[in-house]
């Protein structure tokens, strides 16, 4: 298994004791470490190649009147230090995604009712609302070029992928298979393709597909059972994803040139799910 450059890290979620936590590891499985020592749940991590910060969704407060968890956004450095709370309030904020320059995050929030997309600036923590249609817009992914955001929307009655142009504030529908649930979009490093999860058929089978953004053709990859949560390697030659029975998933690496995947169990005691793979600034 190739180690990759020393500056590459894979960030992932695991819940060995029933509470999801963030972990870091090199692409060869070495230098496995937990990112923070925070006691609350941590999910939906994203790693910035520009500033080396981890943004994630976490819980610091419990709404006492209802017992409900209050999900907010946080950042932390790769040493697990300088933890910063970015959002605060009764809303649920989730699915953060970094801008290419590491200065902003796009995320989904229900602070205006249904889930809408919003931008958050790291310098002053100001929030700008992007969508206004009250139809659940989630899982945003900022394009490598910085001009667009891919996201999941229910505006046509079932989850589909759309593009949002940040300059023009226009929408472009990418998928439209009625009865198919599309989610978890992630960009190839060159910005030409999206990988995404898909649930289809009466038995709700899971698949990962590639979408060519120029031709709009979809390709379903032949992968192990129940693949989910795809992300590209920094050079775009591989796809990292989780597969297996829910709660016991392992990470896999799919090599496009070889049209094959290999199991990449990070540790026997760590079932894995959401992940991100980046080249990060050194030293850290």
Nearest by Cα to 47 from 31, 25, 28, 32: 25
Q: What pLDDT does residue 65 have?
A: 44
Tell me: pLDDT of 179 over 90.
no
C-alpha 8/C-alpha 238 separation (Å) is 13
C-alpha 208/C-alpha 230 separation (Å) is 7
Q: What residues pair up with 187 in beta bridges, in sequence order?
A: 194
pLDDT tens digits, 112-168: 999 999 999 999 999 999 999 989 999 999 999 999 999 999 999 889 999 999 999
C-alpha 134/C-alpha 112 separation (Å) is 8
- Chain position carrying tokens 């939906």: 44
76 vs 39 pLDDT, higher one: 76
CA distances from 189 to 129, 179, 283 (A): 26, 30, 23
How many CB atoms lie under 10 A from the CB of residue 59?
19
Q: Within 13 Å and on the Cβ side, how many CA atoms surround 161?
A: 26
Cβ(197)–Cβ(184) below 8 Å: yes
Cβ(173)–Cβ(159) below 8 Å: no
Cβ(208)–Cβ(231) below 8 Å: no
261 vs 151 pLDDT, higher one: 151
Domains of the chain and CATH, by start: 8-279 (2.120.10.30)
C-alpha 266/C-alpha 271 separation (Å) is 8
67 vs 171 pLDDT, higher one: 171
Tell me: pLDDT of 259 over 90.
no
Structure tokens at 62: 């419990």
Q: What pLDDT does residue 193 have?
A: 98
Cβ(174)–Cβ(150) below 8 Å: yes
Highest mean predicted confidence (pLDDT) among 28-32, 122-126, 224-228: 122-126
Structure tokens at 226: 């129940």
Cβ(11)–Cβ(276) below 8 Å: yes
DSSP three-state, residue 100: coil
Cβ(131)–Cβ(112) below 8 Å: no
- Chain position carrying tokens 């937990």: 34
Strand 42-47 relative to strand 53-63: parallel, antiparallel, unpaired?
Answer: antiparallel
Cβ(34)–Cβ(21) below 8 Å: yes
């Amino acid at each position: 298994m190739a180690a990759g450059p020393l500056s590459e890290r894979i960030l992932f979620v695991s819940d060995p004791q029933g509470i999801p936590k963030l972990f870091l590891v090199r692409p060869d499985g070495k230098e496995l470490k937990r990112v923070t020592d925070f006691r609350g749940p941590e999910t939906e991590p994203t790693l910035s190649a520009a500033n080396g910060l981890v943004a994630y969704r976490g819980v610091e407060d419990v709404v006492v009147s209802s017992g409900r968890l209050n999900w907010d956004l946080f950042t932390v450095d790769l040493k697990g230090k300088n933890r910063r709370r970015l959002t605060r309030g009764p809303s649920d904020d989730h699915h953060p995604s970094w801008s290419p320059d590491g200065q902003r995050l796009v995320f989904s929030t229900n602070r205006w009712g249904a889930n809408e997309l919003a931008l958050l600036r790291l310098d002053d923590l100001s929030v700008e609302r992007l969508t206004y249609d009250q139809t659940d817009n989630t899982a945003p992914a900022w394009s490598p070029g910085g001009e667009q955001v891919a996201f999941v929307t229910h505006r046509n009655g079932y989850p589909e992928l759309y593009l949002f142009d940040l300059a023009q504030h226009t929408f472009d529908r990418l998928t439209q298979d009625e009865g198919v649930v599309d989610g978890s979009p992630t960009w190839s490093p060159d910005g030409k393709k999206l990988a995404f999860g898909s649930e289809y058929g009466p038995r709700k089978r899971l698949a990962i597909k590639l979408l060519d953004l120029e031709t709009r053709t979809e390709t379903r990859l032949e992968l192990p059972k129940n693949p989910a949560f795809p992300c590209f390697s920094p050079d775009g030659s591989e796809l990292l994803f989780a597969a297996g029975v829910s709660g016991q998933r392992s990470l896999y690496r799919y090599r496009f040139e070889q049209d094959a995947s290999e199991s990449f169990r990070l540790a026997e005691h760590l079932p894995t799910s959401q992940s991100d793979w980046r080249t990060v600034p050194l030293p850290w």
